Amino acid sequence: MINDTMVPWPADLAEVYRAAGCWRGRPLGSYVWDWAERWGERTAVVDGDHRLSYLDLALSVDALAERFALLGLRPGDSVLVQLPNRWEFVVVTLACFRLGVVPVMMLPPHREHELTSIGAHVRAKALIVPDVWRGYDHQALAHRVAASLPEPAQVLVAGSQVRSGSVGLRALLTPRGDGGARRRWLDERAPAASDVALFLLSGGTTGIPKLINRTHDDYEYNIRSCARACAFGPDTVYLAVLPAGHNFTLGSPGILGALHSGGRVVLLPSPHPETAFKAIETERVTATSAVPAVALTWMAAAEAGRYDLSSLRHIHVGGSVLAPEIAARVGPALGCRLQQVYGMAEGLICYTGADAPAEVAHATQGRPVSPYDQLLVVDRDGRPVAPGEIGELLTRGPYTPRGYYDAADQNAISFTPDGWYRTGDLVRVTADGHVVVCGRVKELINRGGEKISAGEIETLVQELPQVAEVAAVPVPDPAVGERVCVFVRLNPGHRLTLEEIASALTARGLAAFKIPERLEVVDELPHTPVGKPDKKALRRLLVAAPAEVA
């Protein structure tokens, strides 16, 4: 059912992608045994004291895939996966791929609202959750959600507190019986490479996240292309600190990219600098990825110099705007090279090269990872802009699906009739093909008809030495419609006034109508589950209590 609902790529293009070697025609689960045969006893996954070799991983994945089948899960069924960054996440994900069960990558902060509506939409047959996580009873939540779904759904629980009515995950992971026979049995039932392998969620901060169906073929290419852009290899030790189910951490190149390269994955359930630095030091981590907010806390924490971060070669930073001045400080602060990444769960990923010169690594968000990625920058009427001009980015390519899952109305908005995905991002493309993200189409603040890009203001305010983090949002205004409001978290011991912001931005040559007219200094900015500034929450703050916040 899921595969029939997917908007396919045009047949002629699919042929081109196959002939070019982008799509290899193999399901993702089949690589698990390639890796095991090649890397055997080498460590694949590290979670605290728990270590899995490539061989352990393949055996556990097969054992779990078989148990999924015995529980009644069929290829093409979906399951909601809501697991923290622990080793079980990796085994569950790969076991789903192996059997052709489609995991929906929920994030740990999701609750009844998201789980119920998404579970119903994909007709989920199971929920895979931790027992208790960060003091929250996910097992109880999963049972409430399961009871409200249109079809019966089982609750599989990672952890030791497995209640009656739930299935304990750990007991399913122990390989039993004839591994060879099981492997053949699973090989015979392997899904088609053109089938949906997983659902990613778009991180949109409005409404229920949209479901992005990624096929085995397209996601394997996504992973492989990102791994190449990041120079991943068998000596890579990748630290996963952002939510594992997010496209950035999962496959760009992230966890799956490290495994596909014969490297090692170190999982941490939080990006807290103390635990992250300790893991970098003890596991000799070579690469990690972070949103700008996390990179900033790491840069501040690294000043204390208490940990040996010398093994770190690259940090991938993306997900929201990174001001060039901050970008220039990332490498020196952490003793590694910065690779900026501009990506989306909908497909297209751009990376600055692993050894890009400073002017590229600091001032651009990189180049597409595949030569088959197509970029088109258009004006408000959908006409291509002149080279180097700013416009909305449209994209198509071998790992950018042609539509959201079962969402005809949304697809009519988000995709053009000829299959371009409208990113909603304002970008310009440099002469040598690097993308510079300039803002979001919908984050234009309309001040009496003058359009102001929130991203442009954020980049400039972020450069002020007082500022740790900033987000610009429109504040409704009776006279001009909207004015620019900046929410700012200050660096410790600093103060900042609206007048200081105005004079600094004026000195930078910013047009007067763009100067922020309201400043809110806050202790913490709200973030989305992956760590992007949560603009919707900030707007709500301004609308809900205008007088109080003012």
Q: Which does residue 425 bind out of ligand DBH, ligand AMP, none, counting CB within 5 to 8 angstroms by kind? A: ligand AMP
In the complex, least distance from residue 344 CB atom to ligand DBH, rounded to whole angstroms: 5
Give the shortest CB-252-to-ligand DBH separation in angstroms. Answer: 3
The smaller minimum CB distance to ligand DBH, of residues 132 and 537, is found at: 537
CA distance 522 to 489: 5
Q: Provide, rounded to whole angstroms, the least separation between the CB of residue 414 and ligand AMP.
A: 10
Cα distances (angstroms) measured from residue 301 to each of 42, 310, 334: 32, 15, 10
Answer with the entry of ligand DBH, ligand AMP, none that 249 interacts with (C-beta below 5 to 8 A by kind): none
How would DSSP label each residue in 280-306?
HHHHT--EEEE-HHHHHHHHHHHTT--
Tell me which DSSP letter residue 253 carries: S
Q: Give the nearer residue to ligand AMP in terms of CB position, either 131 or 456.
A: 456
Distances 402 to 1, 371, 399, 418 between C-alpha atoms, Å = 17, 18, 9, 9
One of 91, 124, 344, 505 touching ligand AMP (CB under 6 A) = 344
Determine which residue in the list 122, 141, 321, 427 makes contact with ligand AMP, applying CB under 6 A: 321
| DSSP-derived 3-state class of residue 349 | strand
Judged by CB under 6 A, the number of residues near ligand AMP is 19
- Rounded to a whole number of angstroms, the CA Rg of the chain reads 23
Check binding of 319 to ligand AMP (CB under 6 A).
yes
Query: What, of ligand DBH, ligand AMP, none, does residue 349 touch, CB below 5 to 8 Å by kind?
Result: ligand DBH
CA distance 539 to 472: 10
Judged by CB under 6 A, the residue of 343, 391, 474, 533 near ligand AMP is 343
In the list 60, 154, 194, 202, the residue contacting ligand AMP (rule: CB under 6 A) is 202
| Closer CB to ligand AMP, 143 or 246, in the complex | 246
Answer for which of 191, 262, 318, 398 binds ligand AMP (CB under 6 A) is: 318
State the DSSP code for 533. Answer: B
Closer CB to ligand AMP, residue 344 or residue 444? 344
Cβ atoms 195, 100 nearer than 8 A: yes
Q: How many residues does the chain have?
A: 550
> Are the beta carbons of 280 and 311 closer than 8 angstroms?
yes
Q: Which residues contact 343 (CB under 8 A, 6 or more apart)?
A: 247, 248, 252, 318, 319, 349, 350
Give the CA distances from residue 538 to residues 26, 442, 459, 533, in Å, rounded to whole numbers and listed in that order: 44, 15, 18, 9
Distance of closest approach, residue 394 Cβ to ligand AMP, in angstroms:
12
Which of 54, 372 has the CB closer to ligand DBH? 372
Q: How far is the CB of 324 from ligand DBH (least distance, A)?
A: 18
Q: For residue 156, give both structure tokens.
A: 């599989």
Sheet of 367-368: strand order equals 50-53, 43-47, 264-267, 237-240, 287-290, 314-318, 337-344, 347-351, 367-368
- CB 439 → ligand AMP: shortest distance, Å? 9
Q: What is the 3-state secondary structure (H, E, C) of 125-173?
A: CEEEEECEECCEEHHHHHHHHHHHCCCCCEEEEECCCCCCCCEECHHHC
Judged by CB under 6 A, the chain residues 352 through 371 that form the site for ligand AMP are 365
Backbone φ and ψ for 491, nearest 5 degrees, come out as -70, 150
Between 149 and 258, whose beta carbon lies closer to ligand DBH? 258
Question: Would you say 60 or 339 has its CB closer to ligand AMP?
Answer: 339
**Choosing among ligand AMP, ligand DBH, none, which partner's interface includes residue 252 (Cβ < 5 to 8 Å by kind)?**
ligand DBH
Q: Which does 440 bind (CB under 5 to 8 A by kind): ligand AMP, ligand DBH, none?
A: ligand AMP
List the single partner that 370 binds among ligand DBH, ligand AMP, none, CB under 5 to 8 Å by kind.
none
Residue 425 contacts ligand AMP per CB under 6 A: yes
Binding site for ligand AMP (CB under 6 A): 202-203, 247, 318-321, 340-346, 365, 423, 425, 437, 440
